[in-house]
Amino acid sequence: MAEYDVIVIGAGPGGYVCAIRCAQLGLKTAVVEGRETLGGTCLNVGCIPSKALLHATHELHEAEHNFATMGLKVEKPEVDWAQMQSYKQDVVNGNTGGIEFLFKKNKITWLKGWGSIPEAGKVKVGDEVHEAKSIIIASGSVPASLPGVEVDEETIVTSTGALSLKDKPKSMVVIGAGVIGLELGSVYARLGAEVTVVEYLDVVTPGMDAEVQRQFQRMLKKQGLNFVMGAAVQSAKAEGGKARVSYKLRKDDSEHEIEAETVLVATGRKPYTEGLGLDTLGVKLTDRGQVEVDAHWQTSVPGIYAIGDCIAGPMLAHKAEDEGMAVAEVCAGKHGHVNYDVIPGVIYTHPEVSNVGATEESLKEAGRKYKVGKFSFMGNARAKAIFAAEGFVKILADAETDRILGAHIIGPAAGDLIHEICVAMEFGAAAQDLALTCHAHPTYSEAVREAALACGDGPIHS
């Protein structure tokens, strides 16, 4: 008899959530994790530390820009960088420790070390080989590299280095205008750095609704971020505590150079499967290095599954978690399901940006007839009270059936507001269903209702 029903490799949001659900379903479960702490990229060097820094620097921004208007008199706030780092680390420790507690509570064994799969049904950690009926690969991802750019995690850093800089830089070049680059770019801009974002494409946050992209970039510019768009970075080199980034503008091939104290390379992440022995096992990978899985997250080798950032799909913690829960159900002989059409995306800048489902661009491409219900936060009393009335809610609904197909929000608490629309979409709701639902006043969520009203007879407050 196998020692475990399930061994999960990797304790990120995919792996740890999967393990907890497996244990809840009565499966004897172990998790292999090579880091010193549980929680993976997300809790240690991703979602959580970045949100702590975003929160702290947002408070700084409020104190500097809005306190006086509200009649709050404080001395000019100063940044104690070491204390901000220690606050961030406390937040991380609290969360990673929380997962360790949940493992104990659910009787999940943590096999400490780096694991490999010598054959189906077996996982090797150090010198020990453990047996399991099912193996789940949840090994996550690492930052992608860029040719010509030499990362030293001090002057030229990935997001991991950017979360733990020795000091706050006076200038920063961010390579890549994706979610991670813009979130961390915002953090350092609020801390007083001259931040320049260099992006290959002509738009920020590729794949998002074009109207949101434009408004978002405008708002970030107002906050002091500089943008060089359509620029192909050729190299970045550190010398004497500074770094030089050279890039070519795609429109005319002209060559340029820019210097900064810190360069953040934020050009995406790639699946991490090194050391697992997938090659020898015959586990197939896609040409992008993702583990190939079927509709039940099983790889090309029976009994071995994969979830999270190491397979295809959006590299998001909640997507990994959903797959973790679903594959646990599969291992327990039940049915697991993830609705990939309703996975929200959030950018935690100020204002926040969120989206779910179709964009106008994707609907046009599919030739689908749709209507747009849009409402500006200018008509939302609560947003005005907190100086956050820029931005809007936009709901896309089927032109004939009124069924909600997607939504895009830029404004206060956008990352929370999107979930009312996610739930509506899961229930196959029409925009009118949202419009007829009573929303408390004064809340930001009234803007969602107004956008739903705008899909029909029109909003009230615009």
Binding residues for FAD: 51, 115, 309, 315-318
Q: Annotated catalytic, 441? A: yes
Q: Does 10 bind ligand FAD (CB under 6 A)?
A: yes
259 versus 274: smaller Cβ distance to ligand FAD:
274
Phi, psi of 355 (to 5 degrees): -155, 155
Site size for ligand FAD (CB under 6 A): 36
Q: Which of 4, 7, 8, 14 binds ligand FAD (CB under 6 A)?
A: 14
**Count of Cβ atoms closer than 10 Å to residue 67 Cβ:** 13
**Count of Cβ atoms closer than 10 Å to residue 385 Cβ:** 11
Angle between helices 47-65 and 179-190 (to 10 degrees): 40
30 versus 42: smaller Cβ distance to ligand FAD:
42
Q: Which of 94, 126, 224, 275 binds ligand FAD (CB under 6 A)?
A: 275
Q: What is the C-alpha separation between 70 and 307, in angstroms, rounded?
A: 48
Q: Does 227 bind ligand FAD (CB under 6 A)?
A: no
**Whats the size of the chain, residue-wise?**
462
Binding mask 109-148 for ligand FAD (x = CB under 6 A): -----xx----------------------xxxx-------
- Scanning 35-43, 67-75, 78-86, 397-405 for contacts with ligand FAD by CB under 6 A, the matching segment is 35-43
Binding mask 281-320 for ligand FAD (x = CB under 6 A): ---------------------------xx-----xxxx-x
Q: Which of 19, 20, 30, 47 binds ligand FAD (CB under 6 A)?
A: 47
315 versus 404: smaller Cβ distance to ligand FAD:
315
Q: What is the C-alpha separation between 213 and 223, in angstroms, rounded?
A: 15
Q: Does 13 bind ligand FAD (CB under 6 A)?
A: yes
Q: What is the C-alpha separation between 353 and 317, in angstroms, rounded?
A: 17
Look at phi and psi of residue 247 and say left if phi exceeds 0, alpha if psi is from -120 to 50, else beta.
Answer: beta
**Count of Cβ atoms closer than 10 Å to residue 391 Cβ:** 23
- Scanning 100-108, 148-156, 272-280, 362-370 for contacts with ligand FAD by CB under 6 A, the matching segment is 272-280
Q: What is the C-alpha separation between 372 and 364, in angstroms, rounded?
A: 12
Q: Does 395 bind ligand FAD (CB under 6 A)?
A: no
- Scanning 206-214, 216-224, 271-279, 334-342 for contacts with ligand FAD by CB under 6 A, the matching segment is 271-279
What are the binding residues? 51, 115, 176-183, 199, 268, 309, 315-318
Least separation in angstroms between CB 120 and ligand FAD:
16
Owner of token pair 């768009």: 229
In this structure, the dihedral spanned by the alpha carbons of residues 254, 255, 256 and 257, taken in order and rounded to 10 degrees, is: 170
Q: Please, are residues 356 and 344 in contact by the beta-carbon 8 Å criterion?
A: yes
216 versus 370: smaller Cβ distance to ligand FAD:
216
Least separation in angstroms between CB 174 and ligand FAD:
12
Q: Which of 6, 9, 174, 424 binds ligand FAD (CB under 6 A)?
A: 9
In this structure, the dihedral spanned by the alpha carbons of residues 109, 113, 118 and 119, taken in order and rounded to 10 degrees, is: 20
208 versus 452: smaller Cβ distance to ligand FAD:
208
User: Where is 33: in which H helix or E strand?
Assistant: strand 29-33
Q: Does 32 bind ligand FAD (CB under 6 A)?
A: yes
Q: Does 165 bind ligand FAD (CB under 6 A)?
A: no
Q: Does 451 bind ligand FAD (CB under 6 A)?
A: no
Q: Please, are residues 155 and 262 in contact by the beta-carbon 8 Å criterion?
A: yes
289 versus 458: smaller Cβ distance to ligand FAD:
289
Which residues are 393's β-sheet partners?
375, 409
Strands 352-357 and 345-347: antiparallel
Q: Does 180 bind ligand FAD (CB under 6 A)?
A: yes
Q: Which of residues 318-377 bind ligand FAD (CB under 6 A)?
A: 318, 320, 348
What is 72-133 written as a DSSP string?
Answer: ---PPP---HHHHHHHHHHHHHHHHHHHHHHHHHTT-EEEES-EEEEETTEEEETTEEEEEE
Catalytic residue numbers read: 441
| Interface positions with ligand FAD (CB under 6 A) | 9-15, 32-35, 40-42, 46-47, 50, 114-115, 138-141, 159, 180, 272, 275-276, 308-309, 315-318, 320, 348
